Each structure stands twice: as structure tokens, then as C-alpha cells.
């Protein structure tokens, strides 16, 4: 891409623009941040409106020498930038280009490693915290966070059945040697320990969750339904997918003698996006989790963590593969949950296009990865047909939107939940008629459901009614 085209796109993770020479520390921060992240270019001679104003060409060599000295004196380990000038629109701009370093973390000498390391987040330079510095150290040694050993728990204290059952379903046996080769366990002083990847797979870290919500309209002001799924990674994946499918439209078309049903968004693309979020999310950051939002116009999947430092969005769309969590990715590949390295994003796009949908909006936004599926607009003539198809979903699919333990619920409680899914609320009298029970027994059932957080009680006296919790 021509330099002028890069400039017109504006500042980004790999580009910073300045009208004139910044202060010494500002230059050093940017160079350190580029070196710790994905490399980049600092261009001098471009104003805030992205217009080329240029620099004084008589000062060119003096400015180049000054910048080289600032970087040499201020940054550690040593950074050797490429400093050159480019003539654009008959004006000279100065480019300081830095490649991603392999001696991370880089930092300001005057501040030291702990408070002088910077990374590039979006179009800003941000001070790296201790966990980010540790991640930079891992990158230097080509180690991913998920392959590190978790020393706080021995392997014999973990229930491995979710992982073993998944391998069994694919017809594969799991031995200790295989677990070691996959870097899921490691033996130290005759004791077996799990890796961080195994802890993630088994859902033993509190942040290994997916939060799902169905919002009313196109904003987050009011939600209709929400769930937080935790546990082993395979169950979480299935639950999140089912949540989405139960909140998007299912349409049916008669083809010959058969009824052909399909969701408004292809299941293959949705699942690929959820797998992508799980595999590539930043598990170092324990304060955030994956979020799935369903709105009237989009289905949005947000995964914590920007792209790995040595890859850009252009690389992603060109099929380049760079995995943040190598162990997780290998396990998913072994289980057939990943088909081919680097094909996921383009598969999502192409599947949606073949479905007749708009291409999903796929972006790196600051320090998270965002996929938006554009929902097809429903016409008034088709709305009635879709609602009818939705109501014909099997009861177990509808109940799963409320609780995964629906099979353990008594028939009467399931009946009330199904009624609420259709009608929205129910009075005690209506419940008594619906269940064909005495008032006392009906009240007992409703009270138990409130205690189980399945429903909530609203109003007082005769105006009392119940809604989904």
C-alpha cells in the first residue's frame, strides 16, 4: 500500500501521525510501543486533518540525527529504526519505521522496565501492566500462556472426564503420553501438573465464561434474556451456540415433499465465530470474558484481546494464521473443531455471502476482537410465518433458553416455563387452571420456582403475577 493511502486511513495500531517533531519522550514512547507490539511507522509532517504539511527540508538531516539520538539514548534494549523521507504532493514527510522487536519488553531507560514499558492499543500508547510485561517475556521465548504449567493444583485433583469424553466421542484414546505431547500436563519431580490450557478446558478459571444476552431493539438499554455459561469449554461452546439459535429466527420452506428449515444466520458461521473467540481470546486478562449480544439488527460476538502482535487485519483476511493459545488450538484441531489453519474468518464471510447475507463486520477494536453478523430485515408479510415456525420448536429447545437443567424439573414447572415463554407472565389463578391443581399446591410450586431463580414474583395481593427471572 502506498504511504499516502496509509496516511488517509488515519492512525492505527501501526501508524502514528504528527504535524511537527514531538517531544523526546513522546517519540521514545511510540517507538517502544511499536517495538513491543506489531511494529509501525511514526510519520512527521501530517496534521490532524490528514493533510500533508511537510517538514523543513533544510532541517532534514538534523532532524534525522536528533531522532536517532533520542531513540538510542532513551530506549532499551537497543532499537534500530529505519529513518527516511518521502516526497508526497511536493512536500517532504519524515518516516520513522520500526519492526516488531524480538528482545521484548522494550522500555524507557529513564523509567525502567516495570514502569517504562509501553504497548500499542488501537491508536494509542499505553503503559504495560505486570501481566502484559509477563506476556511480552513469553513472546520473547516463543511460549504461549496456555502451555505454562499451573503449579497450584496437582492433576489427580481434577475431573478429566469432560476432555476424555470428548476424545472418546471422536473415537480417539487418550494416554498420559498423548496428554504430555499436547502440553496439557507436565511431570515435575514425579508429580503431574496441569497446564493453563487444561485448566481453561475444564473451566477451572473464573474468567473462562461466555456471557450471552438478548437485548430489546438495537441498544443495550433493555435485555429480554441473559445467561452466563461456565464449566468445561465444550459445554460452554454448546450452550452459547444454543442460546443464539434460540433467539434468532428459524424459517421453513417446503421443497417438494419435504420441509426445509434453516436459521436466519448459518449455524456453521456462528459456530466458527464462537470457536474463534474461545481459541484466540486473551486468557491472561482475567477481568473480562467473551460476550455474545443479540439485537434486532445484529448478533455480536466480542472476544477479549487484540490480535497477536505480529499480525494485522490484512493478514487475517489473507488467510494468515497466528495462534495466541497454541495448546488450545491443537486440542481443538485434534478433536476436529478446527478444520484448517487460517481458514476460519474467510469461511465465516463466504458462508454468510452464500446464504445471501451481508458480509459480517469483523474488526480489531482497541484490545478486543469483534464480529457482527448482520441479521436479515424481517418484512411484515414474513413475520407471522417466522413466529409460527418459532412456536413449533421442540419444547426442550425452548426450555434450554431458560435453564440447562430443564430435564430435572417436574412436569408442572416445565409447563409453567413454556407458558411464560409464550405469554410473558402468569397469575396464580391462571397457573392453577393451567396445572389443574389445587390453589395450595400451585402456590407451593410457584414459590419453589422463585427460590430456584426460574421465575420472579411481581405485584401485590390480587395483582400478583409471575415472570421469567
For residue 61, is it within any domain?
Answer: yes
Q: Which residue has the cell 431458560?
A: 402
Residues 192, 129 within the same domain: no
What pLDDT, in 10s, does the model give residues 221-261?
A: 888 898 999 999 999 999 999 999 989 988 766 565 566 67
Band (pLDDT 50/70/90 cuts) for residue 421 is confident
Q: Which pLDDT value is given to residue 366?
A: 79
> Which one of 140, 160, 191 terminates a domain?
140
- Is 409 a residue whose pLDDT tops 90? no
SS3 225: strand
Q: Which pLDDT value is given to residue 300?
A: 96
Residues 191, 324 within the same domain: no
- Are the CB atoms for 319 and 232 separated by under 8 Å? no
Domain CATH number, residue 407: 1.10.10.10
Q: Which pLDDT value is given to residue 2?
A: 87
For residue 73, is it within any domain?
Answer: yes
- Is 356 a residue whose pLDDT tops 50? yes
Q: Which pLDDT value is given to residue 106?
A: 97
- Is 384 a residue whose pLDDT tops 60? no
Residues 362, 226 within the same domain: yes
For residue 326, is it within any domain?
Answer: yes
CB-facing half-sphere around the CA of 182: CA atoms within 13 A: 23
Residues 21, 151 within the same domain: no
Q: Which residue has the cell 434474556?
A: 225
Burial class (CB in 10 A: 0-12, 13-18, 19+), 219: exposed
For residue 387, is it within any domain?
Answer: no
Q: What is the C-alpha to C-alpha distance for residues 52 and 48, in angstroms, rounded to an integer? A: 10
Please give the average per-residue pLDDT across 347-360, as a whole number.
Answer: 91
For residue 285, is it within any domain?
Answer: yes
- Is 147 a residue whose pLDDT tops 80? yes
Residues 121, 150 within the same domain: no
Q: Which residue has the cell 520513522?
A: 96
392 versus 310: the higher-pLDDT residue is 310
Please give the average per-residue pLDDT across 10-16, as a whole number.
Answer: 92
Residues 347, 420 within the same domain: no
Q: What is the C-alpha to C-alpha distance for residues 143 and 326, in angstroms, rounded to an integer? A: 9
- Are the CB atoms for 194 and 184 separated by under 8 Å? yes
Number of domains in the chain: 4
The alpha carbons of the chain give a radius of gyration, in whole angstroms, of 28
- Is 82 a residue whose pLDDT tops 90? yes
Q: Which residue has the cell 534500530?
A: 80
DSSP string, 394-406: -HHHHHHTT-TTG
Residues 108, 237 within the same domain: no
- Are the CB atoms for 77 and 103 separated by under 8 Å? yes
What pLDDT, in 10s, does the model give residues 426-448?
A: 988 889 988 988 888 999 999 99
Please give the average per-residue pLDDT across 364-380, as a whole number.
Answer: 82
Burial class (CB in 10 A: 0-12, 13-18, 19+), 229: buried
Residues 227, 290 within the same domain: yes
Question: What percentage of the chain reaches a pLDDT higher than 90?
Answer: 58
> Which one of 353, 380, 407 terminates a domain?
380
Domain CATH number, residue 48: 3.30.950.30
Q: What is the C-alpha to C-alpha distance for residues 379 and 250, in angstroms, rounded to an integer? A: 14
Please give the average per-residue pLDDT across 380-388, as a whole number.
Answer: 49
> Which one of 90, 116, 140 terminates a domain?
140
Burial class (CB in 10 A: 0-12, 13-18, 19+), 402: buried
Residues 348, 419 within the same domain: no
- Is 388 a residue whose pLDDT tops 70? no
Range(s) of the domain holding residue 192: 145-201
Classify each residue of 197-208 as buried b or exposed e, where b means 16 or more C-beta atoms within 10 Å of its C-beta: bbbbbbbbeebb
For residue 233, is it within any domain?
Answer: yes
Domain CATH number, residue 245: 3.30.565.60
User: Can you read off the three cell numbers belonging to residue 115?
Assistant: 514502569
Which residue, among 106, 128, 110, 111, has the nearest Cα to 119 in the 3D structure?
128
Q: What is the C-alpha to C-alpha distance for residues 369 and 13, in angstroms, rounded to an integer? A: 14
Residues 150, 127 within the same domain: no
What pLDDT, in 10s, does the model give residues 155-205?
A: 999 999 999 999 999 888 889 999 999 999 999 999 999 999 999 999 998
- Is 380 a residue whose pLDDT tops 50? no
| Averaged confidence pLDDT in the chain | 88
Which helix (H) or strand (E) segment is 140 a member of?
helix 130-140
For residue 385, is it within any domain?
Answer: no
Band (pLDDT 50/70/90 cuts) for residue 323 is confident
Residues 101, 196 within the same domain: no
Residues 51, 191 within the same domain: no
Amino acid at each position: 500500500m502506498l504511504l499516502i493511502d496509509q496516511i488517509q486511513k488515519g492512525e492505527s495500531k501501526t501508524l502514528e501521525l504528527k504535524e511537527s517533531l514531538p517531544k523526546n519522550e513522546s517519540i521514545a514512547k511510540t517507538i517502544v510501543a511499536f517495538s513491543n507490539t506489531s511494529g509501525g511507522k511514526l510519520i512527521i509532517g501530517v496534521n490532524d486533518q490528514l493533510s500533508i504539511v511537510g517538514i523543513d527540508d533544510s532541517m532534514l538531516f538534523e532532524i534525522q540525527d536528533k531522532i536517532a539520538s533520542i531513540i538510542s539514548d532513551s530506549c532499551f534494549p537497543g532499537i534500530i529504526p529505519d529513518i527516511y523521507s518521502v516526497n508526497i504532493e511536493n512536500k517532504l514527510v519524515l518516516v520513522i519505521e520500526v519492526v516488531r522487536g524480538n528482545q521484548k519488553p522494550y522500555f524507557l531507560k529513564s523509567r525502567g522496565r516495570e514502569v517504562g514499558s509501553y504497548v500499542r492499543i488501537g491508536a494509542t500508547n499505553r503503559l504495560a501492566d505486570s501481566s502484559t510485561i509477563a506476556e511480552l517475556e513469553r513472546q520473547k521465548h516463543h511460549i504461549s500462556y496456555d502451555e505454562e504449567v499451573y503449579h497450584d493444583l496437582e492433576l489427580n485433583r481434577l475431573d478429566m472426564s469432560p476432555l476424555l469424553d470428548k476424545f472418546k466421542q471422536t473415537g480417539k484414546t487418550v494416554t498420559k503420553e498423548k496428554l504430555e505431547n499436547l502440553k496439557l500436563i507436565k511431570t515435575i519431580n514425579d508429580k503431574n501438573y496441569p497446564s493453563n490450557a487444561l485448566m481453561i478446558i475444564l473451566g477451572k478459571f473464573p474468567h473462562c465464561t461466555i456471557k450471552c444476552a438478548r437485548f430489546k431493539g438495537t441498544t443495550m438499554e433493555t435485555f429480554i434474556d441473559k445467561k452466563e455459561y461456565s464449566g468445561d469449554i465444550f459445554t460452554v461452546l454448546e450452550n452459547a451456540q444454543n442460546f443464539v439459535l434460540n433467539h434468532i429466527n428459524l424459517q421453513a420452506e417446503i421443497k417438494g415433499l419435504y420441509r426445509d428449515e434453516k436459521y436466519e444466520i448459518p449455524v456453521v458461521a456462528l459456530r466458527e465465530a464462537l470457536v474463534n473467540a474461545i481459541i484466540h481470546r486473551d486468557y491472561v486478562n482475567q477481568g473480562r470474558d467473551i460476550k455474545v449480544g443479540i439485537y434486532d439488527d445484529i448478533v455480536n460476538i466480542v472476544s477479549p484481546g487484540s490480535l497477536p502482535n505480529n499480525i494485522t487485519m490484512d493478514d487475517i483476511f489473507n488467510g494468515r494464521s497466528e495462534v495466541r493459545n497454541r495448546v488450545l488450538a491443537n486440542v481443538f484441531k485434534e478433536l476436529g473443531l478446527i478444520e484448517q489453519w487460517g481458514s476460519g474468518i474467510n469461511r465465516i464471510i463466504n458462508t454468510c455471502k452464500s446464504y445471501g447475507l451481508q458480509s459480517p463486520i469483523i474488526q480489531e477494536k482497541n484490545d478486543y476482537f469483534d464480529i457482527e453478523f448482520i441479521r436479515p430485515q424481517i418484512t411484515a408479510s414474513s413475520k407471522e410465518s417466522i413466529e409460527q415456525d418459532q412456536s413449533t420448536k421442540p419444547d426442550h429447545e425452548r426450555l434450554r433458553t431458560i435453564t440447562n437443567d430443564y430435564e430435572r424439573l417436574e412436569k408442572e414447572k416445565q409447563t409453567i416455563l413454556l407458558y411464560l415463554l409464550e405469554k410473558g407472565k402468569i397469575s396464580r389463578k391462571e397457573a392453577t387452571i393451567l396445572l389443574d391443581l389445587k390453589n395450595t399446591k400451585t402456590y407451593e410450586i410457584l414459590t419453589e420456582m422463585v427460590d430456584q431463580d426460574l421465575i420472579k414474583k411481581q405485584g401485590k395481593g390480587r395483582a400478583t403475577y409471575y415472570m421469567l427471572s
